[in-house]
Amino acid sequence: MKELKIFGIVAVFTLILYWGVEPFAHSQMHKHVEGDNLQYSDLKAVPKGDAAKGEALAAACVGCHSIKVKNMPAPMDALASAQAYGVNPPDLSLAGAMLDEKFFARFLLNPAEVTKSKHFAMPPSAGSAQDAADIVAYFKSIAPKEVTAKEGYEFACGRCHANRYDHWTQIGDVPKTKSNIKTGVDIDALEFKKKLGTYQNKLADYMGKLPPDLSIIIRARSEHFLHTLIENPQSQLPGTAMPRVGLNKEGMEKVFAYLEKTGDPSKPLREETGPKVLLFFFVFTILAFLWKKSMWKGLH
Amino acid sequence: MAHFDENAKPFSHKWMNERLAVDTLKRVLSTEYWIPKNINFLWAMGMVLAATFGILLISGIFLLMYYQPNTQLAFDSVNYTIMSEVGYGWLWRHVHGVGASVVFLIIYIHMFTGIYYGSYKRGRELIWLSGMLLFVLFSAEAFSGYMLPWGQMSYWAGMVITNLFSGGGLHADFLVEWIRGDYVPGQAFLNRFFMLHVLLVPLAIIGVIVLHFGTLRLPHVNNQDGEEFDFEEAAEQYKAGNVKESKVIPFNPVFLSKDVFVMGIYFIFFFYLVFYHFEFAMDPVNFDPANGLKTPTHIYPEWYFLWSYEILRPFSTNVGLIAFAIAQVIFFTLPFMDRSPNVAPASRRGAFKFWFWAMLIDMIILTFMGKLPPEGIWSTIGLIAALTFMALWIALPIITAKEKKL
């Protein structure tokens, strides 16, 4: 069939063209970074921890952090914390659920070195590897079984990165406020804006610049890039101020689930609609073929 | 004065005929618009293009209802409002984005089909010229549309392309400022490209599509062998019932039935891309909001502009600009650069056969190099391919003048 041969030639050239401008070009433009499968293999192993001992040691944490699952509030609010440290320290309720155990313990011993972030605000907070392991064991014992995607994001990313498509700011959700009906002025919203702006200025001083909003980052960067960046920021952006946060597999999944929800919310409906539309055009094409056959019958 | 039957019922067949000549219109435009029988699926690309343009127009109208041409709001109106708040907004956007890319694939197939079969000669010059005009207008439409989401690539592509108008060594900066309405792309820039994209350029496209169809009517469509025959005689034969012997078929319904079948296959391909492979048409860099203080590491146009971009890039500024300007218009000259009287498939035209495949492959190489960073071996290959492009056009009148008459 001559026509099929012509179609084959067109298809082959189209595929070559696609290969050249997409997979090939991108493989040349971006250096390939091999992930570590969340092994944090540069860090030494730690001994087994004892949660009971850890509980006593963890009492020191609430000097800066809150532990909401234990009803322990933070000593300062987000803004005051940022003024003191540059950034708001995280609530530690989820630390045991989100962080890799080995990373977490090594981090307590030397935060700046383990996060690869030179001026990391937190000082070393464990006397020995055993103490560190005990504290980790304690946080694992108090971590809730179920962590939502948004909670995961808030813990791991949300104090530096806003997500405006989910109305998330570095100091929490944008509050619902009402404007004065006579003037249209919304004092509460303005006050929130001022508070947020002050926090962001402090954060920018601490990080060197304001970390980007991550609303749609899932479409701006490849999944591989984001995965290896979170696992080890220096591998993708040498010199970046972003600390290594040491997420474990579940923690990473929560963060990605949230980024996908805000950056690609149409995915479920897209996957549901796709097969129906294609089926419609399959039927359309079969009917068109039968029509064509009947029209061209007897022409040759 | 025409005769009007006073007893004809309003909007009855007779009433309409007397006022609008509907029967004549139908005959001239469809049932007795004769198409050669000796064709293949490539002859359906015109209708495929018309359908794709229709899809772009309809999806564009839906997007236009929510898009905000404002530098502060544009990015989120596309990426948030349309993608998550508007029901099926994501579908319209992906259809529009994929359509804008695929329409160029079909345009290139359509163009190279014309080149291969010599469908730009002997009475068909205006078909080629109006088609090339459409190519230029579609390019303007694609570029102006690319500005609208106001992402990083919108901003920086806008910066780079408008900079070309300074004319290199001419330093015509006033022209660049005039085009931008500002020193850098900003609100004035976005507004005017919005106007171009949704009004002026589409209007011009619709006008030239009508012209393009008009230029087809008298010389008729070419056929697979470039055979010249008497269309009226063949049409009489067909009408007399000798459909087997006749070399023509009516556009409606015979040719149309094949068009619709090809369109069906095309739509399967198109919607496969829309649902499962849309990212090729939506560059990740453009999902970062425009930032005039942060130049992206790699700036490159969409794939369909890469070949001409690569003709600009390997040379020094002034030479590059001249080469680029030539590349933009050189295809217009094809009917006059081809000195051979033969209207036949390239495979039967001796040296032209090699010219055709060399041009196609050279343009694909240029396309590849246009996206790669201009360093090392890629620059060298790009330079050679750009020079080859020029050399092929210089060679064209010489080899076709020597071509044996078939």
Residues 134-153 of A with CB under 8 A from B: none
- Number of CB pairs, chain A paired with chain B, less than 8 A apart: 131
pLDDT for A124 equals 93
Please state, in angstroms and rounded to a whole number, the distance separating the CA atoms of residues B90 and B80: 10
Residues 217-236 of A with CB under 8 A from B: 217, 219-222
Please state, in angstroms and rounded to a whole number, the distance separating the CA atoms of residues B321 and B160: 13
Contacts of B271 in chain A (CB under 8 A): 274, 277-278, 281
Q: Which of the listed CATH numbers 1.10.287, 1.10.1060, 3.40.1000, 2.40.50 matches domain B300-406?
A: 1.10.287
Contacts of A215 in chain B (CB under 8 A): 79-80
pLDDT for B122 equals 87
Contact status, residue B212 vs residue B129, Cβ threshold 8 Å = no
Mutate to test the interface with B, among A277, A286, A297 (most CBs of B within 10 A): A277
What number is the average pLDDT over the span B362-379?
94
CB contact set of B198 (below 8 Å; sequence gap of 6+):
B60, B64
Q: Which amino acid is at A34?
A: E
pLDDT above 80 (res B1): no
Residues 61-100 of A with CB under 8 A from B: none
Q: Of A212, A222, A291, which is closest to B260 when you measure between CB atoms?
A: A291
Q: Of A10, A220, A299, which is closest to B249 when you measure between CB atoms?
A: A299
pLDDT above 90 (res A119): no
Q: With an 8 Å Cβ cutoff, are A20 and B364 in contact?
A: yes
pLDDT above 90 (res B3): no
User: Which tokens go with A24?
Assistant: 């090939």
What number is the average pLDDT over the span B245-264?
96
pLDDT above 80 (res B13): yes
Q: What is the pLDDT of residues B130-184, one digit of tens each?
A: 999 999 999 999 999 999 999 999 999 999 999 999 988 889 999 999 999 999 9
Sign of CA dihedral B237, B243, B244, B246: positive
As a whole number of angstroms, the longest Cα–Cα distance in chain A is 93
pLDDT for A117 equals 87
Please state, in angstroms and rounded to a whole number, the distance separating the CA atoms of residues A239 and A225: 16
Q: How far is B224 from chain A (nearest CA, A)?
A: 11
A19 — contact with chain B (CB < 8 Å)? no
- Which of A110, A133, A151, A114 minimizes the C-alpha distance to A251? A151
Q: For residue B118, give the DSSP letter.
A: T
Q: With an 8 Å Cβ cutoff, are A220 and B76 in contact?
A: no
What number is the average pLDDT over the span B322-326?
93
- Which of A114, A118, A92 minimizes the C-alpha distance to A103? A114
What number is the average pLDDT over the span A222-239?
94
For chain A, the average pLDDT equals 95
Domain extents in chain B: 41-219+254-297, 300-406
What number is the average pLDDT over the span B13-27?
94
Domain extents in chain A: 38-175+185-267
Contacts of B88 in chain A (CB under 8 A): 269
pLDDT for A45 equals 93
Q: What is the pLDDT of residues A28-43, one digit of tens each?
A: 988 888 999 999 999 9
Q: Judge residue A181's burial from the number of C-beta atoms within 10 Å of its C-beta, 0-12 exposed, 13-18 middle, 19 or more buried.
A: exposed
Q: What is the pLDDT of residues A242-253, one digit of tens each?
A: 999 999 999 999
pLDDT above 80 (res B2): no
Q: What CATH topology corresponds to A38-175+185-267?
A: Cytochrome Bc1 Complex; Chain D, domain 2 (1.10.760)
Q: Of A3, A164, A277, which is closest to B40 when you measure between CB atoms?
A: A3
pLDDT above 80 (res B121): yes
What number is the average pLDDT over the span A3-20?
97
pLDDT for B190 equals 97
List C-alpha distances in Å: A13 to A9, A20, A277, B360, B365.
6, 11, 27, 9, 12
Contacts of B372 in chain A (CB under 8 A): 25, 28-29
pLDDT for A300 equals 81
pLDDT for B254 equals 96
Q: Of A25, A278, A295, which is closest to B257 when you measure between CB atoms?
A: A295
User: Which tokens go with A154?
Assistant: 């808030």
A10 — contact with chain B (CB < 8 Å)? yes
How large a percentage of chain A has pLDDT more than 90? 94
A191 — contact with chain B (CB < 8 Å)? no
For chain B, the average pLDDT equals 95
Contact status, residue B99 vs residue B56, Cβ threshold 8 Å = yes
Helix (H, G, I), strand (E, B) or coil at B402: coil
User: Which tokens go with A53?
Assistant: 């001992």
Contact status, residue B58 vs residue B88, Cβ threshold 8 Å = no
CB contact set of A64 (below 8 Å; sequence gap of 6+):
A74, A75, A81, A85, A89, A122
How large a percentage of chain A has pLDDT more than 70? 100
Domain B41-219+254-297 CATH assignment equals 1.10.275.10: no
pLDDT for B146 equals 97
pLDDT above 90 (res A213): yes
In chain B, DSSP finds a helix count (H) and a strand count (E) of 17, 2
Q: How far is A286 from chain B (nearest CA, A)?
A: 8
- Which of A163, A172, A171, A151 minimizes the C-alpha distance to A97? A151
ipTM value > 0.85 = yes
Q: What is the pLDDT of residues A158-208, one digit of tens each?
A: 999 999 999 999 999 999 999 999 999 999 999 999 999 999 999 999 999
> Whole-model pTM?
0.94
